Amino acid sequence: MERAFLFYRIALVLLVIAAVLIPQAFAVEDMWTAADRIIKDVYSKIAAISTVLAGLMSAVAVIGAKMSGTQQKADSAWEWLKRVWLAWVIINGIGAFIAYVRPLFDGLATLE
């Protein structure tokens, strides 16, 4: 019993000393700032990839339309080109909304 109490007391003293000597780490930015930074970083990568893919798919669609043997295949390629650019506009429109429209609403959701 005496030995267990001594072990417990030494362990407790070592735990308190460790807690005092270990430096505390504080966050550099709050959760919302970090989330905003991460969202902007991920979205910029998505927008870049979508732009490259839209350019590539546009080239494929134009080549497909020019080299098609029938009018139906050419029309199908032009419709595909329209869908590619519509998707690109929607993806980049989300970024424009986040970048330009959202700051106009900052501060409107507060109670005064």
Q: pLDDT digits over 66-111, tens only? A: 888 888 988 998 999 999 999 999 988 887 787 777 777 776 656 5
* Domain definitions of the chain by residue range: 29-105
Q: Which residues contact residue 74 at a Cβ distance below 8 angstroms, ignoring those fewer than 6 apart?
A: 65, 66, 68
Q: Which amino acid is at 24?
A: Q
**How sure is the predictor about 53, in pLDDT bands with cuts at 50, 70 and 90?**
very high
Ranked by mean pLDDT, the top range of 22-31, 38-47, 78-87 is 78-87
Q: Which residues contact residue 102 at a Cβ distance below 8 angstroms, ignoring those fewer than 6 apart?
A: none
Report which of residues 35 and 49 the model is more confident about.
Answer: 49
Going by C-alpha positions, the residue among 79, 105, 87 that lies closest to residue 46 is 87
Report which of residues 110 and 54 the model is more confident about.
Answer: 54
